[in-house]
Amino acid sequence: MEIINGKEVAARIKGQVKADAEYLSYHVGITPCLAVILVGDDPASAVYVKNKTKDCAEVGFISRECILPESTTQEELMKLVKELNEDETVHGILCQLPLPKHLDEREVINAIDPDKDVDAFHPVNVGRIMIGEYDFLPCTPAGVMELIHSTGVCVEGKNCVVVGRSNIVGKPMSMLLLHENGTVTTCHSKTKDLKAETLRADILVAAVGKAKMIKADMVKPGAVVIDVGMNRDENGKLCGDVDFEEVKEKASYITPVPGGVGPMTRAMLMKNTFTAYKKAIGIKG
Ligand code: GUN
């Protein structure tokens, strides 16, 4: 069994983005810029936004933190999105979710210019992913694909089982595995016999949000196991959706929590921001 080191893979990707961005910024005279919108004072969201700012600094991007109070109205938020859409010095826009209850997330996401939508949450980008003609991939599923690639295991023809069907992770995850010719099953809360499904998985991706729910007896020997979960166990310790201590004895490759998918999500946001920047300055690829 090998533990997949997400921090190491993420550092490699960020290093590549940094080198490419430095080169282009120097020659074009424009530096990539990511605008992050945070509304209200959810402490977890504040940490995520700080981390994004840190990542931007690390790869040489400009970051613009747009911090708005809890009392912000939908109109004010929509006005900010419009300004950022029109601002040519801003290449990527991300609105940290969840928004306070009185705000309409969907309306905000739909208002972001699809070419600046580095989360890939806009329906246009979701549609592009469906047909395999995309500029951006949502950061977490894209990061998971990079981790799978890092193992050298080829997805083509493999039984891939994704547990979870959220718009942000599960659904696009299944689509990306399908694009690489995996035979994909998406499981969810109404799946009749989850264990029977996961036991057939050569590649198992858990994205449910339930601490340690994937046990060793649910995993096929030699499977690649990717854990997207970020939960607290009974002792308040950070853990994933996979019971790591049990499952590591059966898997060929497994991601830890923390240090697996998390750092990759952050790295892929930098990659998407760089892609948006390249599009804006008229460079393909
Ligand atoms: N909140 C938790 N994860 C995410 C994410 O990937 N993007 C945004 N915008 N908000 C989030």
pLDDT in tens, the chain (285 residues): 999 999 999 999 999 999 999 999 999 999 999 999 999 999 999 999 999 999 999 999 999 999 999 999 999 999 999 999 999 999 999 999 999 999 999 999 999 999 999 999 999 999 999 999 999 999 999 999 999 999 999 999 999 999 999 999 999 999 999 999 999 999 999 999 999 999 999 999 999 999 999 999 999 999 999 999 999 999 999 999 999 999 999 999 999 999 999 999 999 999 999 999 999 999 876
Task: Supply the residue whose CA is at minimum distance from atom 8 of ligand 1.
Answer: 96
Is any atom of ligand 1 closer than 6 Å to the C-beta of 10? no
Is any atom of ligand 1 closer than 6 Å to the C-beta of 117? no
Tell me whether the omega of the peptide bond preceding residue 98 falls within 30 degrees of 0, making it cis: yes
Both tokens of 159, joined, read: 């039984």
Grouping H, G, I as helix, E, B as strand and the rest as coil, residue 89 is coil
Residue 29 — φ and ψ, nearest 5°?
Answer: 80, 15
* Cα distance between residue 168 and residue 105, in whole Å: 13
* Catalytic residue from among 115, 119, 135, 241: 119
Is any atom of ligand 1 closer than 6 Å to the C-beta of 241? no
- pTM value is 0.97
Domain ranges of the chain: 29-113, 139-262
Q: Report how far apart, in Å, the C-alpha atoms of 22 and of each of 14, 181, 187, 276, 277 are.
A: 12, 35, 42, 15, 12
- Whose structure tokens read 């970051």? 63
**CATH topology for 139-262?**
Rossmann fold (3.40.50)
Whether 29-113 shares its CATH topology with 139-262 is answered yes
The CA 245 to ligand 1 mean position distance, Å, reads 28
What was the pLDDT predicted at 129?
96
* Cα distance between residue 113 and residue 222, in whole Å: 43
What was the pLDDT predicted at 284?
75
What was the pLDDT predicted at 285?
64
Is any atom of ligand 1 closer than 6 Å to the C-beta of 94? yes
* Cα distance between residue 124 and residue 106, in whole Å: 13
Task: Supply the residue whose CA is at minimum distance from atom 2 of ligand 1.
Answer: 97
* Cα distance between residue 13 and residue 33, in whole Å: 18
- Whose structure tokens read 């989360």? 119
* Catalytic residue from among 14, 96, 271, 278: 96
The CA 250 to ligand 1 mean position distance, Å, reads 32
Q: Which CATH number fits domain 29-113: 3.40.50.10860, 2.60.40.3120, 3.40.50.300, 3.40.640.10?
A: 3.40.50.10860
